[in-house]
Structures are given as C-alpha cells and as structure tokens.
Structure 1
Amino acid sequence: MTGLRTNRDYRLLWTGQVVSEAGFSTTMIAFPLVVLAITGSGVQSGLVVGAVAIAQLVAGLPAGALADRWPRKRIMLGCEAVQAFAAAVLVLALWWDVAGVGLLVVVAVVMGVCRALFEPAEEASLPLLVPAGQVASAVSLNAARTSAGQLSGTALGGFLFALGRFVPFVLDVVTHLFAFASLLFVRLPARSVTVRPPAHLGREIAEGLRWVWRQPRLRITTFCVVSLNLFFSAYYLVIIVLADGRGMPSGEIGVMAAMLGGGGVLGALAAPVLYRKISPYLLITGVFWALTVLAPLAIFVRSGYVMGLLFAAIAFLPPAANTVIGTYQLLNTPDELRGRLGGVLGVTGGLAAALGPALGGWLVEVLPGSAAVLACAGAIAVVTVATTLNRTLRGLPATSEPLEAETTGK
C-alpha cells in the first residue's frame, strides 16, 4: 500500500470518504432515535431507516447507467453537496422544533439516492486514479474505510444525540462538506473512451445487465458476493438472538458487534497481502470453507467476549475474497460499463443484505437458537461446495485478461 500513500488524489478521495462514512453512520443511528422522540412509534422509526435502503435499491440500476453517462467527479461532488444541504435543512427543522416524520423520510430518501449515485461513480473511477497493480489495495482500503466509518459513526451517534436531537445531523453536514472540499482537489484523469450521447436510460441499464449476464466469471463472482452478504446479515441476527436468549448482558452483545467491525477492518488491511500470495480460486474457496467451519462453533459459546472473537475471525476473512472479486471485475470491465457494473453489484448486494435479516428472523422464529445457527452454517456449506466445484471460478486468472473472449450470445 506504499504506492497509495504517495498517491495524492486517491488519498484525498479516501480521507474525504472515511469522514463522510462516519457522518452517514452517525445519522443512521440518530434517525430512529429522533423518530422515537417525536412520535414514540417504533414502526415509523423503521420506516425512516428503511427509506434509505429502499431508495438506494430503487435508484441503483439507473444510478449505474448515469455514472457511465455523466462526468463521474461531478456526480460525486453533487452527491456530497446535496447530502450536506438535506442534513442542514433537517438541522434547522429540529432546531425550530418543526421536524416531522415526512421530512425525515424525504431526507432519508435523498441520502439513499445520493449513495446509489456516488458508489458506482467512485468504484468506476478507481482504475483511473490508481495503477492496475494497486487496484486491489485500493479496493481493500475502501472496505476498511467503510468499516472504520461505521464503527466511529455508530459510537458517536448515541453520544451526540444525548447532547441534542439536531447535533448528529450537524456532524453529518460538516462531514459532507469536508468530503466535498476533498473531492474538489482530486484530479481525476480523463476517461479513455468517448462518452456516447445520452440514449434511452432503460436501454443503457439493459445493456449493463446483459454485459454482466454474458460473462461467466462476472456471474460466478457476483454470486459469491451475494452469498456472503446474505449469509452475514442472516447469521448476525441469529447470533444476536441466540446471545440474548442465553442471557448475555447487553454490554457484551455490544462488544460482540464492535469486534465484528474490528475484524472487518483488520481483514480489509490484510486483504492485499493475501491477494498477492494466494491464487484467486484458492482464496475465494478458502474463505467459504473457513466460514463453513467457523459458523457452527457459535452453538458451543456461552461468553459474549468469546463470541466476539468468533465474530472477529469470521469478519476477518471475507474482505480478502471481496478484494479478489472487486479487483477482477473492475479491471476486466470496459470503462464505459463500469458504472453499470457497480449499479448491478450494488442492487444485488443490497437485496441480499436486506433479505438476510428477514431470513435470520424467520429462522429464529421457526427453529431453536442452535438449530438456526446450524441452518445458516448448512446453507453456507452448500454454497462452499458449489463454488469449490465450479469450473469457471477455478479458471479465474491471477492477472487480468480481457473478458470479451468469454462473451457469448453476441
């Protein structure tokens, strides 16, 4: 990662976004607290928080197409500016005590749409900001950035809310303005392709979907990412319910969650080293096998701190697989399609992350805690065997090679 430390433009982008992530995570903690303070309704709290994810999913595919159509730096700048403005409006409304659930939903939707636009624009810009040999390090550092921002924002949210309902959103305004200022100084190289005149947005989205579907290696790697997201979000809820049912103190459960985040940060930092030393096939399948072995151990654990160590070990592994997958996909997708690739991955990953808690909740309703854990472990074991036997994944190269040769149906 030495090269990235000397890469002024990537450093500016990364620094701005780690601060922005902290502000966003603070807001996500503050949203339900504000709604509860105003209405006392848990249902309406869920509506506001859910509005962010729903807006991000609905806007995901169009946002990916727009990231290929519009200048990507302008998209990122616009997203930061709009989020700062939306948060500032909410600060004033809370200060004047005129904020209602409707305004909170609108602000949540704005934030979700902005994230849907920003993420594919940023991901598609990485191969222009850093040399091909450093893309893996950039992908892993971005994952560490997200985890670090979530950890710090989650810790800050409740504390700032105690100072005043509007205070978390003041921080959100400041963080987005800081990210905007950092982006202003990022020198994003010109794209190597000529941006085509705008066509019908639906046709552009369909073109991106066809591209992903026609690439066997993109299909299998996307399946791997979706499986990891679905497993983690379901398993996390199952373990929390299991811990609560065994009478673990809430403080220990909080430590468990923090150790999960810490494991993710450490895993993201270690991912480039693993990427360089282990072949893509062995690294991806090795992560799945390790999860298959570790996941059932939760049924034997009675201490929240030991469970936290297990969480940290489990969270340490996926960033390496995600780094391999993200690097391969970015380097082997034409620049004019990278935004749409990001949109597809954002929607599929987001759906998996949204369905996972519902699946986990259903499992703990119909099965005893230990049986629900084993059901999650069994599901990941099935995926592990499927990926291990997959010939396309086995042929994933250690170095990039053009995907056009794989394309079928043209």
Structure 2
Amino acid sequence: MTVPLTRNRNYTLLWGGQAVAEVGFAASLIALPLLVLAMTGSPAAAGLVLSVDATAQFLAGLPAGALVDRWDRRKIMLACEAAQALALGSLVLALISDTATLAHIVVVAAVLGVCRALFEPAEDASLPRLVPDSQLATAIAMNSARSSLGQMAGTALGGVLFAVGRFVPFLLDLVTHCLAFVALLFVRMPPREPVAVSERHFLREIGDGLRWVWQRKEIRVTALCAVVLNLFFAAFYMVVLVLADARGVSSGAIGVMAAMLGVGGVVGALIAPWLHRVLGPYVSIASVFWALTVLTPVAYFVSDGYVMGGLFALMTLLAPTANTTIATHQMLLTPDAMRGRLSGVVSVVLGVAGALGPALGGLLTQFLSADRAVLVCAVGIALVTAFVTVSPTLRRYSAEQEGVPNEV
C-alpha cells in the first residue's frame, strides 16, 4: 500500500524547508529594489538589481540543468542553500555596519539568481525519486501552492520588515535558508545510477538536453504554447496596471489587485490534484487557455480595481492544473539522467516569455491606448488557444505513464 504523501518523510522535509525559504526569498525580492532606492534614489539602479537577478538565473539555466544531471542533486541543493545564506549574511553585516554598496548588492543578486537556476532543476529532477509515480502530480501541485503562499506572505512581510530596518528582510531570508539547509540534511535521496564516462562531456550534455526537448513533440508543442500564452499574459498584466492607473484606481486597490494573482494561484494549486484526475490531460491543459481567452477581454470593461483583482484570481485558478499535468507527464517521460536538463531547458524557454512580456506590454501602451492594448493581448491569447484546441498532439496528450490516482 502506498504511504500518503503527508507521511512521506523525505518529501515533507524538502517541502517544509523550501516553504520557509520561499517566504524569505519573496521578502528579499521586494526589499532589494527598496534598498537600492533608499541608498541611491535611482529607479534605474533599482531595476538593474532585479534585472541582474533574473539575468543570472536565465544565463545559468542551461549549464545548471547539465550540472544537475552530472552531480549529486542533494549536494547541489545543500550548496545552493549555503551559498545563499553566505551571500545574504554578507549583505546583512554590510547593512548593519553601514558599508553596503551598489556593487555588493548586485553581486548578492547574481548569487541568488544562479543558486535558483541550480536548485530548481535539482529539486524538480529529485521529485520522481522521492515520491511514487502515482503521487507525482500531487507533489508538483503542492510545490506550486508552496511557491504561491511563500510569494504572498514574503511580499507582505518584506515591505513591513524593511520599514523596521533595512537589513531585517535579508536577515529573515538568511534564517529561512539556514532552516532549509538543516531540513535538507535529513532528506535521504534514493541512489542514482552512475553516469557513463562517455556521456560526461559538458557541452555535449547541454546539447543533449536541448535535443531531447526538441525531439519530443509533446514537450516541444506544450512549451511553445506556454511561451506564447505567458508572453501575452505578462504583457496583459503590464497593460492592466497602466489601464488601472489611467482610470484612477488607487495604489492600494492596485496592490490588492496584484495580490489576487497569488490568491488564485494558491487556490488553484490546492484543487489541481483533483482537477488533474477529473478533467484528464488535454482538458487540463486547454482549460487554462480557454479561460484566459474568455476573461482577458473583460478587462476592457472593468474600471474597479477590486473587481479586476477578482478577474485576476479567476485567470490564475486553472494554471496550476495545466502546469501539474504538463510537468508530471514530462518528468515521467524523461529518463532520470536527463531530468535536470529538461527542467533547465524549460525554465530558460519560459524565462524568455517572462522577460519579453512586460516589454511587449510597455510597447503596446506606448503606441496604443491601454484599452486597445488589452484587445491586442486578447487576440494573441485567442490565437494560441485556437491552436491548442485543434492541435492533434495535445488532443493525444496521454497521462498513461502517470499511474493510479494520487493520495495526499
């Protein structure tokens, strides 16, 4: 009999440690630009720090995936937690002693970005070895809920703690990474098969990961559709912020509106294991595209920030189910020796959409009215939804490798 996921000691240790680390990370992420603004008064410098963090994670993505498949994944996760704790500790000491510089903050941001690039594929690739196939979808959904909860709590804490003291959010992040490190020490990872010597050429390993993703049509098509959807949704989010401001929505209401994205993500992640079983693979994936196609044009008519927040929550409600279905299928389809590279490639590809989406939204609002920019985003989402609807690859999307229904 399969042990319920909540009684899986190794998974709960990993999940719990990363739950607290997510809170600390979100607190630091909101506090970093506030810190740079307070030190320099330059919005450009504040944006630079966040850009360095994201760029470091993006550039390290492909090499990180290959390293995750080459090295011991648990040791990689431990090293990442230790490196982040050391970087944050140096920043806390510099802030307390009033010796922090912009260059120091940039280096810390780069370290955090590289560590996430390594840790995320290491955790993703380890998950199928920590939980049985029948519970993998539930574990992936719970990780998604963990991230959303951590983002909500950490973002709120970061601003409050920064008002208490500039170093306090980073001290929180330091403590949470230390706790996550301790939790990882007690995780027992099942042994992996040794990697053949002939496969250990690093650049060849990166190329193998890219070829693996490209040659698997299901992975290639779902990744392409996800990139286009994320691109237009990220642009839509930027456009809606401009539109809300133009319609006189208060900053407080805009904050609530943005927070509702997280609320929808949390609720969606909690119901994702159930929806994943009930809807089936194709409907699980297509439903998020259909929902966004219907809901995006509604923003054209909404002028109240709180109503827009409710719309945002509905828009993100089904995303965890689609992500759970796709990630579960991909992990079970991919050999263990390739899972790190799979995660690295997918994160890099999706990172492109995350980086270009806000820029696209900014350009749309620069050359069009915000109202018309909403409609452009709606058309873009509708086109990719039409492709998803008729795609024979997605209609044949199979979960036959995912096993029996999940147990929590």
- Normalising by the smaller structure, the TM-score range is over 0.9
Structure 2 residue matching 1:400: 3-state secondary structure: helix
**Matching residue of 1:365:** 366
Counterpart AA for 1:196: A
- Aligned pairs (5 A) from 1:72-151: 72-151=73-152
CA distance in 2: counterparts of 1:228 and 1:188, whole angstroms: 35
CA distance in 2: counterparts of 1:338 and 1:398, whole angstroms: 18
Alpha-carbon deviations, 1:213-241, whole Å to 9, x = none? 01101101212332332233211111111
Alpha-carbon deviations, 1:34-61, whole Å to 9, x = none? 1111111111111111111000000000
Instruction: Say if 2:70 and 2:200, in contact at 8 Å, map to a contact too.
Output: no
Task: Tell me, yes or no, if structure 1 residue 246 matches structure 2 residue 262.
Answer: no
Counterpart AA for 2:195: V
Tell me how far 1:3 sits from its aligned partner.
Answer: 1.9
Q: Which moved more, 1:79-88 or 1:228-237?
A: 228-237
CA distance in 2: counterparts of 1:353 and 1:75, whole angstroms: 26
Structure 2 residue matching 1:206: 3-state secondary structure: helix
Counterpart AA for 2:297: P
Instruction: Say if 1:225 and 1:322, in contact at 8 Å, map to a contact too.
Output: no
**Matching residue of 1:319:** 320
**Matching residue of 2:309:** 308
**Matching residue of 1:185:** 186
CA distance in 1: counterparts of 2:160 and 2:374, whole angstroms: 33
Tell me how far 1:209 sits from its aligned partner.
Answer: 0.3
**Matching residue of 1:19:** 20
Counterpart AA for 2:390: L
Task: Tell me, yes or no, if structure 1 residue 159 matches structure 2 residue 180.
Answer: no
- Aligned pairs (5 A) from 1:284-303: 284-303=285-304
CA distance in 1: counterparts of 2:220 and 2:246, whole angstroms: 39
Identity over aligned pairs, percent: 59
**Matching residue of 1:383:** 384
- Aligned pairs (5 A) from 1:190-339: 190-191=191-192, 193-197=193-197, 199-339=200-340
Tell me how far 1:190 sits from its aligned partner.
Answer: 1.1
CA distance in 2: counterparts of 1:231 and 1:179, whole angstroms: 35
CA distance in 1: counterparts of 2:251 and 2:196, whole angstroms: 55
Counterpart AA for 1:158: G
Tell me how far 1:2 sits from its aligned partner.
Answer: 8.5
Alpha-carbon deviations, 1:71-126, whole Å to 9, x = none? 00000000001000100000011111111100000000000000000000000001
Structure 1 residue matching 2:243: 3-state secondary structure: helix
Instruction: Say if 2:27 and 2:157, in contact at 8 Å, map to a contact too.
Output: yes
CA distance in 1: counterparts of 2:11 and 2:203, whole angstroms: 32
Task: Note the residue ranges of structure 1 that are not aligned, 5 or more in a row.
Answer: 402-410
Alpha-carbon deviations, 1:312-370, whole Å to 9, x = none? 00010111111110000001000000000010011011111111110111111111111
Instruction: Say if 1:228 and 1:318, in contact at 8 Å, map to a contact too.
Output: no
Instruction: Say if 1:69 and 1:195, in contact at 8 Å, map to a contact too.
Output: yes
Structure 2 residue matching 1:397: 3-state secondary structure: coil
Q: Which moved more, 1:2-11 or 1:384-393?
A: 2-11
Instruction: Say if 1:136 and 1:324, in contact at 8 Å, map to a contact too.
Output: yes
Tell me the TM-score normalised to structure 2 length. Answer: 0.96
Task: Tell me, yes or no, if structure 1 residue 8 matches structure 2 residue 12.
Answer: no
CA distance in 2: counterparts of 1:17 and 1:322, whole angstroms: 19
Counterpart AA for 1:121: A
Task: Note the residue ranges of structure 2 that are not aligned, 5 or more in a row.
Answer: 403-408
CA distance in 1: counterparts of 2:114 and 2:100, whole angstroms: 21
Counterpart AA for 1:201: F
* Number of residue-to-residue matches in the alignment: 400
**Matching residue of 2:51:** 50
CA distance in 2: counterparts of 1:183 and 1:228, whole angstroms: 35
Instruction: Say if 1:25 and 1:150, in contact at 8 Å, map to a contact too.
Output: yes
Tell me how far 1:151 sits from its aligned partner.
Answer: 0.6
Instruction: Say if 1:259 and 1:308, in contact at 8 Å, map to a contact too.
Output: yes
CA distance in 2: counterparts of 1:398 and 1:47, whole angstroms: 42
Alpha-carbon deviations, 1:281-304, whole Å to 9, x = none? 122112211110011001111111
CA distance in 2: counterparts of 1:328 and 1:228, whole angstroms: 20
Alpha-carbon deviations, 1:229-282, whole Å to 9, x = none? 223321111111111110001111111111111001100111111110112112
| CA RMSD, Structure 1 to Structure 2 (Å) | 1.3
CA distance in 2: counterparts of 1:10 and 1:49, whole angstroms: 31
Instruction: Say if 2:229 and 2:384, in contact at 8 Å, map to a contact too.
Output: no
Counterpart AA for 2:257: M
Q: Which moved more, 1:367-376 or 1:56-65?
A: 367-376
Instruction: Say if 1:147 and 1:261, in contact at 8 Å, map to a contact too.
Output: yes
CA distance in 2: counterparts of 1:52 and 1:2, whole angstroms: 39
CA distance in 2: counterparts of 1:34 and 1:149, whole angstroms: 21
Tell me the TM-score normalised to structure 1 length. Answer: 0.95
**Matching residue of 1:397:** 398
